[in-house]
Amino acid sequence: MKAAAIIVLILCLVAAVGVGYLYFTARLTVSVRECVATDAMTQTELFDRLKKQMETGTLIGTPFTTDLPESPEAYQFYSWTLRLENRTFLPADVIEIQITPLEGDVLQIGETAAYRLPARQTMDLSATILTRKDLHNVREITVTYYMWGLPFTEKLSSRQI
């Protein structure tokens, strides 16, 4: 009986150390791969659709202002591509990218899909904003995700390209 208790105690300690290891190493490695600027004049259909969605309140995304953009000549789209590496044994669920806006940013185009990154996998995700032409592309990027139902946040600057 005493030997069984010692074995159960050792197994519980090993399990606790294993769970602790999984929790403390449960992080994604996030890096900015590239940022592409596209003139809104070359994508007038998308610009008009986003403007109409803002007018009607049906925008899938995050509006940064209530002011509607006038014409596409004064605006551009910035698209950041992020590389997410999951080096853990746990999958990352409900991955979301949020751009911290500057004065002059209009909106961030939203996603309807919930992204999942399996264990030991890598994926690229992108985030796109509509902004004034005279603004630079340096923004703070926040990536949130869940592992085992626990929320995690990674912040980085787009300056790290």
- Report yes or no: 51 and 107 within 8 Å, Cβ to Cβ: no
**Residue 102's domain is classified under what CATH number?**
2.60.40.1470
Domain, as residue range, for 141: 27-160
Reduced to 3 states (helix: H, G, I; strand: E, B; else coil), residue 24 is: helix
- Report yes or no: 119 and 89 within 8 Å, Cβ to Cβ: yes
Residue 2 belongs to a domain = no
State the Cα–Cα distance between residues 125 and 112, nearest whole angstrom: 13
Tally the domains of the chain: 1
Reduced to 3 states (helix: H, G, I; strand: E, B; else coil), residue 4 is: helix
**pLDDT truncated to tens, each residue of the chain (161 aa)?**
888 889 999 999 998 998 888 778 778 999 999 999 999 999 999 999 999 999 999 999 999 999 989 899 999 999 999 999 999 999 999 999 999 999 999 999 998 899 999 999 999 999 999 999 999 999 999 999 999 899 999 999 987 55
- Report yes or no: 65 and 20 within 8 Å, Cβ to Cβ: no
State the Cα–Cα distance between residues 108 and 106, nearest whole angstrom: 7
Residue 8 belongs to a domain = no
